[in-house]
């Protein structure tokens, strides 16, 4: 009996070992869990304005510096004084909009954190059609708090120019994109990361884009190479809101919209978007081509997100200087140069 028991014990010990083996082998064979585990902590959840009329109040972002710079898309979500960022370690931060380049639809946020896991944009790589990729984002706001963001796998179908389809896709961004064979660009996914199977950064997921002609949706990412310059310019102080810039002296007499014949919509909200309400017929603005319903995005290189910010930006422009306004008209960015009063700058 005792012999038998001993044998049984031996056998069951062996069996246990055999049974335990597959459990201990951490990722399943061919599982992408390892690169995913490295990338996920570098993706953040961003919460801001929205939450009505089918506009989600959240999007995704990528940490691009250990000290808290976050790359994301420039959208209405960031049009808020209360932008918050959730990291995968569960910490939540109030974020500042450092700046945004509306021409590239890109924004950089800053949170006061240190030693964050982050991508180095200089290390981002390029990829060709056929490359197998992973897309990370907080689509549909599925993850909250410390929950890892969603990951999807697919292939780059083509690398192409988005502006080849101008008039079809309404977006200010017209440049190269990676088109993907997986539905990555869902609500809340914009600002997420596209990486290769090794976890190297390739691009940033763009906003949802619907083809106006056939109602299909585009799944795409903007190559990091296209964004690098804007990001470094924003980090260097360009495309920032006024209080982020260097302090300059105001001119004795500042420019005003009235001198060009531009009237904004009534400033009734804390952050009224600076839409043009009227352009006086025959005025300088009219001749330059500005129209009612244009949304002013930039005064020079200065980002303006409200009527108030626009007026403040003009306080730093001499009334005799020429100024460049960048406006959004039906999802197209247009630039207009307005001459200074008294004919300084180029004469008409």
Answer yes or no whether residue 11 interacts with other proteins by CB under 8 A: no
| Contact (Cβ atoms closer than 8 angstroms) between residue 204 and residue 222 | yes
At 88, which helix (H) or strand (E)? none
Answer yes or no whether residue 84 interacts with other proteins by CB under 8 A: no
| Contact (Cβ atoms closer than 8 angstroms) between residue 313 and residue 304 | yes
**Strand, coil or helix: what is 13?**
helix
Cα radius of gyration (the chain): 25
* Binding span for other proteins by CB under 8 A among 2-10, 33-41, 59-67, 314-322: 33-41
> Residues 173-212: x/- map of binding to other proteins (CB under 8 A)?
---------xxx-xx-------------------------
* Binding span for other proteins by CB under 8 A among 57-65, 109-117, 150-158, 294-302: 150-158
Residue choice 32, 157, 265, 341 for contact with other proteins (CB under 8 A): 32
Answer yes or no whether residue 88 interacts with other proteins by CB under 8 A: no
* Binding span for other proteins by CB under 8 A among 135-143, 227-235, 251-259, 336-344: 135-143
**Strand, coil or helix: what is 199?**
coil
Q: Using CA atoms, how far apart are residues 266 and 262, in angstroms rounded to an integer?
A: 12
| Contact (Cβ atoms closer than 8 angstroms) between residue 162 and residue 211 | no
Answer yes or no whether residue 213 interacts with other proteins by CB under 8 A: no
Q: Among positive and negative, which fits the CA dihedral 112, 116, 121, 122?
A: positive
Residue choice 2, 29, 214, 346 for contact with other proteins (CB under 8 A): 29
Answer yes or no whether residue 51 interacts with other proteins by CB under 8 A: no
Residue choice 1, 18, 53, 54 for contact with other proteins (CB under 8 A): 54
Output 91 or 250, the one with its CB closest to other proteins.
91
Residue choice 34, 81, 161, 277 for contact with other proteins (CB under 8 A): 34
Output 147 or 301, the one with its CB closest to other proteins.
147
Answer yes or no whether residue 28 interacts with other proteins by CB under 8 A: yes
Site for other proteins in 231-250 (CB under 8 A): none
The rounded Cα 145 to chain-centroid distance in angstroms is: 20
Q: Using CA atoms, how far apart are residues 314 and 302, in angstroms rounded to an integer?
A: 10
> Residues 92-131: x/- map of binding to other proteins (CB under 8 A)?
----------------------------------------
Answer yes or no whether residue 151 interacts with other proteins by CB under 8 A: yes
Q: Tokens standing for 79?
A: 């049009």
Answer yes or no whether residue 266 interacts with other proteins by CB under 8 A: no
In this structure, the dihedral spanned by the alpha carbons of residues 235, 236, 240 and 241, taken in order and rounded to 10 degrees, is: 110
Q: Using CA atoms, how far apart are residues 337 and 289, in angstroms rounded to an integer?
A: 9
| Contact (Cβ atoms closer than 8 angstroms) between residue 116 and residue 89 | no
Contacts of 3 (CB under 8 A, 6+ apart): none
Q: How far is the CB of 206 from other proteins (least distance, A)?
A: 16
Answer yes or no whether residue 90 interacts with other proteins by CB under 8 A: yes
Residue closest to 201 by CA, chosen among 24, 43, 337, 16: 43
Residue 343: which region, alpha, beta or left (left: phi > 0; alpha: psi -120 to 50)? left
Which residues are near other proteins by CB under 8 A? 23, 27-37, 40, 54, 90-91, 139-140, 142-154, 182-184, 186-187, 217
């Amino acid at each position: 009996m005792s012999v038998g028991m001993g044998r049984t014990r031996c056998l069951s010990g062996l069996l246990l070992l055999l049974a335990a083996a597959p459990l201990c082998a951490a990722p399943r064979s061919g599982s992408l869990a390892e690169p995913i585990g490295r990338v996920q902590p570098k993706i953040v959840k961003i919460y801001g304005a929205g939450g009505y009329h089918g506009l989600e109040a959240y999007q995704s972002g990528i940490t691009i510096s250990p000290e808290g710079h976050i790359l994301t898309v420039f959208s209405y979500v960031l049009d808020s004084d209360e932008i918050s960022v959730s990291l995968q370690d569960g910490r939540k931060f109030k974020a500042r909009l450092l700046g945004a380049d509306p021409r590239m639809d890109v924004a950089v946020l800053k949170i006061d954190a240190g030693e964050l896991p982050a991508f180095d944009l200089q290390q981002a790589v390029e990829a060709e059609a056929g490359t197998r990729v992973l897309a990370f984002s907080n689509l549909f706001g599925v993850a909250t708090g410390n929950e890892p963001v969603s990951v999807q796998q697919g292939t780059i179908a083509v690398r192409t120019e988005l502006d080849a389809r101008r008039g079809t896709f309404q977006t200010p961004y017209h440049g190269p994109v990676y088109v993907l064979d997986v539905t990555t660009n869902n609500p809340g996914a914009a600002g997420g990361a596209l990486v290769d199977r090794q976890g190297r950064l390739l691009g940033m997921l763009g906003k949802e884009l619907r083809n106006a002609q056939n109602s299909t949706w585009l799944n795409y990412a903007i190559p990091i190479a296209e964004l690098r310059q804007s990001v470094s310019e924003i980090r260097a102080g360009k495309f920032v809101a006024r209080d982020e810039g260097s302090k300059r002296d105001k001119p004795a007499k500042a420019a005003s919209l009235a001198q060009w014949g531009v009237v904004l919509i009534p400033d009734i909200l804390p952050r009224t978007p600076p839409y043009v309400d009227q352009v006086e017929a025959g005025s300088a603005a009219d001749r330059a081509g500005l129209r009612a319903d244009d949304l002013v995005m930039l005064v020079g290189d200065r980002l303006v997100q409200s009527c108030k910010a626009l007026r403040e930006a003009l306080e730093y422009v001499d009334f005799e200087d020429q100024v460049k306004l960048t406006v959004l008209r039906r999802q197209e960015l247009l630039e207009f140069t307005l001459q200074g009063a008294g004919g300084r700058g180029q004469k008409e």
